[in-house]
A and B are shown apart, each in its own frame.
Chain A
Amino acid sequence: MVGEEHVSMIPIAPNNVWRAKVNGRAQEILAPSNAILLDVLRDKVGCLGVKRGCDMGTCGCCAVLIDGEPRLSCLTMANECVGSDIISVEGLSNGAHLAPIQQCFAECGGSQCGFCTPGFLISSQALLDKNSNPTDSEIATAIEGNLCRCTGYQQIIQSIQSAAAIHRGDESPAKPASDAHSDPHPSGPE
């Protein structure tokens, strides 16, 4: 293309500074003004737990909490949530301790291949934040925007129900099957 200036097919938008709180931490990021939130979260912030499954709002894998509401980050412009408080799957746990919803998904078979799991966790957490005593049908409504191809949803609903029980305080989080830091050389009673 000697002699002619190349005109890009995809308009290159100017870079803006994008400011928001992601998982409790203030972010200042240079991103195109037309950037999609999913791209910003994955490529710039480094939240690789936010999954890209379809790019058109059909699978729910990319869900994040924006100011407490579950939203599909693939259908959200980054600019729409400047100044927002965004929570992704990485922000659900309390330090090294899994959130009840995470623990229950892991223990009740709510996660098989795991790709849809971050989106389900976000939708479920949003539900449990408002309603810690949901019926199965309320759970179904909360996760209707999330596709799971592995579990057939049944164990997901069970996971959410058992997380709800923990939220209500009905039961303490189940103990792991065995000690996570197994001592290969057990000694006697202290």
Chain B
Amino acid sequence: MTDGYVQQPGSSKDVRVDGKRVAGKMSFNPPGSGGSRPEMAERDLDFIPEVEGGREAQPAGHHLHDKYRTGTTVGKRTPLVDGNAKVTGQAWYGDDVRLANEIIGRIVRSPHHYAKVKSIDTSKAEALPGVLAVSTGADAPQRFGVLPVTKDEHAMAVEKVRHVGDLVACVAAIDEATAREAAALIEVEYEVLDAVHDPKKGLLDVDDPIHWRGQYHIGSTNVQKRVFQEFGDRSKLEQARATHHGKWKFMGVNHGFTEPHAVVAHWDPNGRLQLYTPQQVPHYAHRALATVLDVPMHQVNVIRTFVGGGFGGKSDPFPHEMCAAILARKAGRPVRITFDREEVFWVNRGRHPSHIEVQLFADDDARISGFEIDALIDGGGFASFGHVTSYYNGVLATAPYELGSFHYTGARVWTNKPASGAMRGHGAVNTRCAIEVGMDDLAEKLQVDPIDLRLANLLPPHSKTITGFRITSNGMRQALERVREGSDWDSKFRQLPLGKGIGIGCGFFISGSGLPIHWDPNKFPHATVHIQIDMDGGVTVHTGAADIGQGSTTAVAQVVAEVLALPLEMIHVRSHESDTSPVDLGSYSSRVTFMNANAAITAALDVREQLLDAASEILDVPAKLLILNDRRIYNKKDPAVGTSYLQALHKSQEDKGALIASGAYRTPPMGGVHKGAAAGLAPAYSFSAYVAEVEVDVDTGLIKCTDVWAAHDCGKALNPLAVEGQIIGSCHMGLGQVLSEQMVYGRTGHLQNPNLLDYKIPSVHEMPNVTPIIIESCDPEGPFGAKEAGEGPLLPILPAVVNAVYDAIGIRVNDLPLTPDKVWAAISKKMKREDIADAQDLPVPRIDFSELQAKIAKRSTEHNDRDGRRQRSEDTDPYINGVLFGFDPSIPPEDQDGDWKISVRPDSGQLESLGLAGSAWTKIEQRKMEDGK
């Protein structure tokens, strides 16, 4: 229809009587004029907010980005843009990278828990025909680690091995059989040292701590990090009406991603390293590689392959990545290293095995007067993310409830196990379970409904937690109400027969870490996105965000498509190579959608403005009157006046070629000033509430979770299909931890189940029927209002199941996972204690509401109004944790109450009364000792 390239459709030479130019008519029929072609469709008003004239309801208020919604893709169930590659087997994961002339690398691993490496003899391996390179720790003396403050790893052992499976040496040979054989020919002489397996023993002074941190070492213990935090007024705890005391044991859990680690390293003819690796955080691997290999960063190109599941387990820079690079440099050929499943368990970085003790207090008004948490976490052989985990175990319990006081002592100790690290719900999962079960118990003791107890103690939207975290949008209340309604809670709770139970749990998680891990003293953004559009009209988006299956590539493509009103197929995301991708901090702390999509929107808005300016010039219509719709731009008042996207694009490209735009995101300044104030800070937080229903076989102790109603506040579901997938997937992973998954270390400290047969990931038969419920609280700073949906949804499932088990059999088991043997042991113990002959006669908990029930129901109704007004920004008064206890929100509580404390070090008088992890504070740092050791 178009006659070649038309810059100004219609007759632009026509001049009206008043001298104004007549705008060109479109060379095709205007939107809404009927016809089957997609670009003739009107804007999809169902996905345009009410405030912009659409039909999308906005109960949580308006958003800054509302005016850029075009009804294209945001909010629609969108298949992943790389889905077709995955279903055809064309997605290329780590081991699928096959370069010409490649050779195979193998790692030699320690058979000892803890030993000095006295000597390594590689001569036999080197002499084996087919072996092309051998390397040991001497080749790479530089330390690295994901956190700059705790660089304690080497590519291969230098001096010591710290756990069974720790790297000692590596070889590369023409094929796998030869490489395996060469690995076995490497002779290592060890001097075995006394290993530490029990984290409690890690608190004690020993002769040979697993790492030595010089003047910062705490005594001569294996304590890697200790945290003390005290906020609020603890003097009122003695008058509590109800208290809960829970002592928990959590086993270590592995990510269990299906793709084992694999890496391919290749030094190209120009001497640059091309490293292919399934990394969640390519940028930190990039930094660590440059350090360890002693080359400038720009000489390394990290190519992220497709990632076959991450969940935190592929976010550290890994020693095997260094090994592959070292071997490839020595051999002069590309080296591929692929792990066995067993090796995946030796690398681990899974959830910390933990001993957690919590005390919860409720006062006469059923307010939460205090949380006391003590968490001893078992870090294994290396620091990994442990510095952060140590904080998260406490500080991420400070919401969604308003607290009278908060007291946390935490310690992370090194033990001779594979290192623990970050795993989905990093640091928050175990404590959250203990806290939420505590809330259930408090409700039981107060004889009130546990959902109402929660509803009456929630922090409102736009408030501050007791530790100073800035909460923006908050959909906790709606989440609780929706699961209560969905599960028919009121007719089930404490009314089901023996063996059937229902339970509630809540969650709270960061949506992007406020502080980047590498906090260079400059103001680097957290995420940067470049957009480039050449004459063909295709939009190339360069981002460093690592898609690990969660759909970050799709999310970025979606927001760009939305702003530019282009079909998703015209957006091409390039995110694999560090050479072409701007620095992005990676896929961790649930930051990608929030930060990266924000950066993408900024860049897309720049392009949008250039297009609108061009269209304005073509049409002689002011830019503010122009509307973007599917591949066309037209006058809002007269849709017949318009131009096509390509015409506007070509106009804007005159004299400069491709349109280029860049957008970046950095978190706003926020948070307190106390030590550790940055840990747990985030630009937004997600909230969730789950109700789980279980069946417990009282004769065998077998638990079956049958139904879950899972409400998650993700701000705005950019892609509800993906959000639901994240919610259901989180349920699966959390259910594994609460019912069956555990890394079992035997009496000698040896990991007994490093395979997927003995490490019990729930199969399809163990999955309950999950009803995902999306809550949209419209976060003011999120992209189109979105917050995270990847990690937060995991948190509530654990306590919901544990609480449901109590509802079913009247027993709380505080030792995860709740395997049948533990549950049955608890049942038979109770039967013995209460002299019950038949398990079928076990008493079931029932509730008889106290006078407090009416009181808290009234309070939650009042708060419901308050929260609605705050959410819609009708009430913008400041709100801080403490208002519920009578404090004035405009004055810091410490200035209002002499007993209100903010303390990050224990007083000398407190030392004796601290818990297990708190006892780490009785040790003195080396630099504070008078005479050295």
Smallest beta-carbon distance A76→chain B, Å: 18
Cα(A104)–Cα(B308), bound, Å: 20
Mark interface residues in B33-75 (1 if CB within 8 Å of A CB, else 0): 0010111100000000000000000000000000000000100
With contacts A1-B124, A53-B259, A114-B549 known, is A149 near B538, CB below 8 A? no
Cα(A109)–Cα(B724), bound, Å: 9
Stretch at the interface among B79-87, B357-365, B693-701: B79-87
Q: Is the pair A49, B725 in contact by a Cβ cutoff of 8 Å? A: no
Smallest beta-carbon distance A100→chain B, Å: 11
Q: Is the pair A113, B549 in contact by a Cβ cutoff of 8 Å? A: yes
Q: Is the pair B763, A147 in contact by a Cβ cutoff of 8 Å? A: yes
Q: Is the pair A112, B725 in contact by a Cβ cutoff of 8 Å? A: yes
Cα(A49)–Cα(B88), bound, Å: 7
Tell me, yes or no, whether A85 is within 8 Å of chain B by CB: no
Partner of A115, one of B2, B127, B257: B257
Q: Is the pair A178, B38 in contact by a Cβ cutoff of 8 Å? A: yes
Partner of A106, one of B37, B86, B725, B769: B86
Cα(A102)–Cα(B338), bound, Å: 27
Nearest B residue to A120, CB-CB: B87
With contacts A10-B177, A154-B770 known, is A187 near B80, CB below 8 A? no
Mark interface residues in A137-176 (1 if CB within 8 Å of B CB, else 0): 0001001101111111111110000000000000000000
Mark interface residues in B535-564 (1 if CB within 8 Å of A CB, else 0): 011100000000011110000000000000
Q: Is the pair A105, B87 in contact by a Cβ cutoff of 8 Å? A: yes
Cα(A143)–Cα(B646), bound, Å: 47
Smallest beta-carbon distance B422→chain A, Å: 16
Tell me, yes or no, whether B508 is within 8 Å of chain A by CB: no
Nearest A residue to B89, CB-CB: A49
With most chain A CB atoms within 10 A of its CB, the pick from B90, B256, B767 is: B767
Tell me, yes or no, whether A14 is within 8 Å of chain B by CB: no
Residue contacts A-B, CB under 8 angstroms, 30 given: A8-B177, A9-B181, A48-B89, A50-B89, A51-B308, A52-B95, A54-B341, A54-B756, A102-B87, A113-B307, A114-B306, A115-B259, A116-B258, A117-B87, A118-B89, A149-B256, A149-B311, A149-B733, A152-B770, A155-B721, A155-B724, A157-B764, A178-B567, A182-B570, A184-B538, A184-B649, A185-B644, A185-B647, A188-B27, A189-B37
Smallest beta-carbon distance A13→chain B, Å: 10
Which 9 residue pairs across A and B have the least CB separation, nearest first? A49-B89, A113-B549, A184-B537, A114-B86, A115-B308, A188-B28, A106-B83, A152-B732, A187-B1
Q: Is the pair A149, B89 in contact by a Cβ cutoff of 8 Å? A: no
Smallest beta-carbon distance A88→chain B, Å: 7
B-chain residues with CB within 8 Å of residue A180 when the two chains form the complex: 569
Main SS at interface, chain B? loop
Tell me, yes or no, whether B190 is within 8 Å of chain A by CB: no
B-chain residues with CB within 8 Å of residue A49 when the two chains form the complex: 88-90
Cα(A184)–Cα(B731), bound, Å: 41
Cα(A92)–Cα(B90), bound, Å: 12
Q: Is the pair A150, B83 in contact by a Cβ cutoff of 8 Å? A: no
B-chain residues with CB within 8 Å of residue A177 when the two chains form the complex: 73, 76, 78-79, 567-568
With contacts A89-B89, A118-B89 known, is A144 near B83, CB below 8 A? no
Cα(A90)–Cα(B80), bound, Å: 19
Cα(A105)–Cα(B85), bound, Å: 11
Cα(A140)–Cα(B765), bound, Å: 7
Partner of B87, one of A10, A50, A106, A181: A106
Q: Is the pair B95, A186 in contact by a Cβ cutoff of 8 Å? A: no
Q: Is the pair B308, A48 in contact by a Cβ cutoff of 8 Å? A: no
Mark interface residues in B111-143 (1 if CB within 8 Å of A CB, else 0): 000000000000010011100000000000000
Q: Is the pair B756, A147 in contact by a Cβ cutoff of 8 Å? A: yes
Cα(A50)–Cα(B569), bound, Å: 27
Smallest beta-carbon distance A167→chain B, Å: 16
Cα(A179)–Cα(B2), bound, Å: 20
Cα(A146)–Cα(B764), bound, Å: 8
Tell me, yes or no, whether A56 is within 8 Å of chain B by CB: yes
Nearest B residue to A48, CB-CB: B96
Mark interface residues in A89-105 (1 if CB within 8 Å of B CB, else 0): 11011000010001101
Cα(A48)–Cα(B336), bound, Å: 15
Cα(A53)–Cα(B343), bound, Å: 12
Q: Is the pair A117, B86 in contact by a Cβ cutoff of 8 Å? A: yes
Cα(A47)–Cα(B95), bound, Å: 12
Q: Is the pair A90, B88 in contact by a Cβ cutoff of 8 Å? A: yes
A-chain residues with CB within 8 Å of residue B647 when the two chains form the complex: 185
Cα(A177)–Cα(B570), bound, Å: 13
Partner of B764, one of A8, A113, A144, A183: A144
Q: Is the pair B93, A112 in contact by a Cβ cutoff of 8 Å? A: no
Q: Is the pair B765, A10 in contact by a Cβ cutoff of 8 Å? A: no
Smallest beta-carbon distance A124→chain B, Å: 11
Q: Is the pair A58, B732 in contact by a Cβ cutoff of 8 Å? A: no
